[in-house]
Amino acid sequence: MKTYKLAIIGFGNVGQGLTKIISDKKNLLIAKFGINLSIVAVCDLYKGSIYNSNGFDPETLLSDLEKNGDLKSTLAPITGWNATETIDNSGADILVELAFTDLQTGEPAVSHIRQALNNGMHVSMTNKGPVALHFPELRKLALSKNVQIGIEGTVMSGTPSINLGNEMLLAAGITKVQGILNGTTNYILGEMSSGSKYKDALKQAQELGYAEADPTGDVEGYDAAAKVVILGNLLMDLSLTLDDVDRQGISHITNADIADATSLNKHWKLIGTVEKHSDGFSASVKPEMVSSEHPLASIKGATNAITYTTELLGDITLIGPGAGRLETGYAVIEDILLIHKKST
């Protein structure tokens, strides 16, 4: 059995979802895959930082957090390390980077990731900033250090959109990727069509753990645009930046707009697209009215859907969760399973 020591940076929705899965699926991961996941360090800006070389009991972490609102009273041999100290001193095999997404600089996550890779650690991240802004550089660094980077959770949470595209469909020649790439906005649009106000629907999406810490990223389409960039660059060999994406969000859509769509038997959806053309590419995120018969009309709540158009297989559509605590925590498990497979 192989034990992987994990250092988690950021103990919000995803960090807690991951911890719950590590607790609930411990025996399955050992029995089916021969891997034991040991959380040796948790570092969070507000909830505190703790380190134990023998690993923490995941249920204790979650119950302490529920009881106290933070991990500051959790019994630990060492407390108070910042992210840099955690990466340098924890001796972890895998850095799990789950801090806030910053789509302007990718910081501080990108610095955490460079530091971890330079230290010979594998990295799993659900943080979209480093992937949308710096992935070629990070991938090269990982290669030179003979370690792996997992990014499954950056698109469609734990629904394996990245691995399906990258591991299975790349050789089929992906020419276009299109779909619903943001859970928060799909949830809000659906709730509004059931009569909720925009503000209330957004609040619910935040409470359910779907929205970004700053939900402007969701509702103005930046989050979906980052996913368009990630998919275009990874799967279609493009060199997109966020500025290349013609972006529009949903914050201007009113209940009257929703009612108009309903009267036409249509639904508003925020649709992301990246397509290769003979003379270049196009990339966009915009709200569109789709008819009730359209395949994307039935995608409800925080569910996402992606259609990969390929030269050899035509269209392949993947539907599944696009956000959520456990749903995104599971993406880290997928990354670790792939890291394990590729390094043994």
Ligand X SMILES: NC(=O)c1ccc[n+]([C@@H]2O[C@H](COP(=O)([O-])OP(=O)(O)OC[C@H]3O[C@@H](n4cnc5c(N)ncnc54)[C@H](O)[C@@H]3O)[C@@H](O)[C@H]2O)c1
Ligand Y SMILES: N[C@@H](CCO)C(=O)O
Binding residues for NADPH: 128
Residue carrying structure tokens 């599971």: 330
Q: Which of 5, 176, 227, 269 is catalytic?
A: 227
Give residue 211's Cα distance to chain centre.
11
Name the nearest CA neighbour of 179 among 285, 250, 331. 285
Q: Are 309 and 4 in contact (CB under 8 A)?
A: no
Q: Are 145 and 127 in contact (CB under 8 A)?
A: no
Stretch touching ligand Y by CB under 6 A, among 41-49, 205-213, 291-299, 313-321: 205-213
* 83 scored as a contact of ligand X (CB under 6 A): yes
Give the total residue count for the chain: 344
* 65 scored as a contact of ligand X (CB under 6 A): no
227 in active site? yes
Q: Which of 52, 127, 163, 284 binds ligand X (CB under 6 A)?
A: 127
Cα separation, 146 vs 308, whole angstroms: 30
Secondary structure percentages of the chain, helix, strand, coil, to 5: 45, 25, 30
Please, which residue, 210 or 308, has the CB nearer to ligand Y? 210
Tokens of 74: 């959790």
* 48 scored as a contact of ligand X (CB under 6 A): no
* 244 scored as a contact of ligand Y (CB under 6 A): no
Q: Are 152 and 163 in contact (CB under 8 A)?
A: yes
Quote the least distance from Cβ 204 to ligand X, whole Å.
14
- Quick note: the x/- pattern for ligand Y over 145-184, rule CB under 6 A, is ------------x------------------------xxx
Residues in CB range of 32: below 8 A, 6 or more apart: none
Cα separation, 318 vs 161, whole angstroms: 7
Q: Which of 210, 268, 308, 330 binds ligand Y (CB under 6 A)?
A: 210
Please, which residue, 218 or 244, has the CB nearer to ligand Y? 218
Q: Which of 81, 135, 210, 308 binds ligand X (CB under 6 A)?
A: 210
Q: Which of 323, 333, 336, 338 binds ligand Y (CB under 6 A)?
A: 323
Residue ranges that bind ligand X, judged by CB under 6 A: 9-15, 43-47, 83, 98-101, 108, 126-128, 153, 157, 209-210, 212-213, 323-324, 328
- Catalytic annotation, residues: 227
